[in-house]
Amino acid sequence: MRGLWMIGAAVLLTGCVSSPSLNGTMGAPSFATLQQMCSAQTVDYGNDAQGVYATLFDAYVANRRGKLSKEDYCAFQASLAQRYASQGVSADPQVRNQWVVFFTDQRAKALSWRAAADPTLRAG
C-alpha cells in the first residue's frame, strides 16, 4: 500500500514540475505571449516548440526577476528564431544537427540565467 502511495506522489510531483503547457498555465504565460513580448510575429517551431518554450520561459523568469534585461531577452529570442529558420527546418541532417547543438547551448544559457534569479533552482 505504501508503495502505491509513493508512486502516486511521484506522478503528482512530476506533473507539478514539468514544463508549462504551450497555452500557458497558472502563473506562466503562453508560448505565443512570450514570443509577442518582443515581436508581433510568432514563430512556429514545429516539433521543437516545447523545448523552445521551456527555454524562453527560463529566460523570461530571469527577465521578470531583474537578472536579464528585456533587450537581452529579445535578442536571445531573435537569435533562436533566426537560427531555427536557417537550420532547424532543414531536411539536411548535418544542418539540422547544427541547430540542435546551438539550441542545447542556448538552453544551458537560459537555465543559468534562471538559476541566478530563482533560488529554488540553486538549492542543493
Residue 4 resides in a domain: no
Alpha carbons 117 and 68: distance in angstroms, whole number: 9
- pLDDT tens readout for residues 48-102: 999 999 999 999 999 999 999 999 999 999 999 999 999 999 999 999 999 999 9
Q: What is the pLDDT of residue 3?
A: 43
pLDDT bucket at 103, cuts 50 / 70 / 90: very high
Q: Residue 47 is part of which domain span? A: 21-121
Residue 55 resides in a domain: yes
Domains of the chain: total: 1
Q: What is the pLDDT of residue 28?
A: 81
Alpha carbons 26 and 28: distance in angstroms, whole number: 6
**Does 6 score more than 70 pLDDT?**
no
- pLDDT tens readout for residues 9-62: 334 443 444 455 655 555 689 999 999 999 988 999 999 999 999 999 999 999
**Does 7 score more than 50 pLDDT?**
no
Residue 74 resides in a domain: yes
Exposure class string for 25-57: b at 16+ Cβ within 10 A, else e: eeebbbbeebbeebeeeebebeebeebbbbbbb
Q: Which of 71, 73, 100 is nearest to 84 (CA)?
A: 100
76: its cell numbers: 536571445
Please identify which residue in the block is written with the cell numbers 538549492.
123
Residue 5 resides in a domain: no
